[in-house]
């Protein structure tokens, strides 16, 4: 997970806001968080990170909404929709289209929500307006999380490397002790057998 996020962070740094748009569309939340971290480092501005993240999410949401509109009945029969769909449907019936905004904060439901609202025949213009608010809010929340945690993340990465070294040393020492105990037990068993 950490190695993957480091690779994603390098990609975002190397390709700037355009990479944030692509990453937010394809990957989602981690891209938005890393965009906040990168903005905090001064590589591009926080408003640019939020705008790019919101745009990428918005494009992906529209894609999934249209998939639901055009291919919805076939998707309802898939195992994935069978797993997440009933939850989305309950929330949608309870909260209405505002559920589109909330779905980005409930892990694993955003895409299913977009497909569901495409299936239900929600008018495109209404979807676009509600989802725009959700995309901006999601980008703000996750980007601000990255901005706020960026100093902690840098420190954490240093601690992780030190912890990995300590764990490696502990593993070597622990393995040596286990081998020593095992050999001592085998020697004792041989001595009793004679």
Query: How many domains are contained in the chain?
Result: 1
Flag whether the pTM goes above 0.85: no
Using 50, 70 and 90 to split pLDDT, how confident is the model at 130?
Answer: very high
pLDDT for the residue 48: 93
Q: Give the highest mean pLDDT range of 15-24, 66-75, 94-103, 136-145.
A: 136-145
Count the neighbouring beta carbons within 10 Å of the beta carbon of residue 88: 23
Domain annotation covers residue 9: yes
Q: What is the mean pLDDT of residues 119-140?
A: 92
Give CA–CA dist 34/49, Å, rounded.
9
State pLDDT tens for residues 131-189. Answer: 999 999 999 999 988 888 876 655 555 555 555 555 555 667 666 676 677 777 677 66
User: Is 69 a member of any domain?
Assistant: yes
pLDDT band of residue 2 (cuts 50, 70, 90) is very low
Query: Is residue 185 in some structural domain?
Result: no
Residue 106 has pLDDT above 60, yes or no: yes
pLDDT at 1: 41
What percent of the chain shows pLDDT beyond 70?
A: 77
Could you tell me the residue range of the domain that residue 121 belongs to? 2-149
- Using the 8-state DSSP alphabet, how is residue 120 labeled? T
Q: Does residue 192 fall inside a structural domain?
A: no
Position 64 in a domain: yes
C-alpha distances out from residue 103 to 19, 74, 172, 189, Å: 23, 22, 46, 63
Q: Which two tokens stand for residue 63?
A: 């894609």
Rg of the chain over all Cα atoms, to the nearest angstrom:
24
């Amino acid at each position: 997970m950490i190695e993957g996020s480091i690779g994603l962070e390098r990609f975002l740094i190397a390709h700037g806001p355009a990479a944030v748009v692509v990453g937010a569309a394809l990957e989602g939340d981690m891209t938005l968080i890393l965009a906040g971290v990168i903005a905090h480092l001064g590589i591009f501005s926080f408003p640019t990170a939020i705008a790019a993240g919101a745009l990428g999410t918005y494009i992906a949401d529209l894609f999934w909404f249209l998939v639901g509109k055009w291919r919805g009945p076939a998707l309802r029969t898939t195992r994935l929709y069978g797993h997440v769909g009933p939850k989305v449907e309950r929330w949608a019936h309870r909260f209405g289209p505002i559920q589109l905004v909330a779905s980005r904060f409930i892990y694993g439901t955003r895409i299913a929500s977009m497909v569901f609202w495409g299936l239900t025949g929600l008018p495109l213009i209404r979807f676009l307006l509600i989802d725009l608010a959700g995309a901006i809010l999601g980008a703000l929340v996750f980007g601000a999380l990255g901005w706020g945690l960026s100093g902690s993340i840098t420190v954490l990465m240093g601690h992780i490397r030190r912890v990995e070294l300590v764990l490696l040393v502990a593993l070597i020492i622990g393995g040596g002790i286990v081998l020593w105990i095992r050999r001592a037990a085998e020697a004792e068993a041989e001595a009793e057998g004679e």
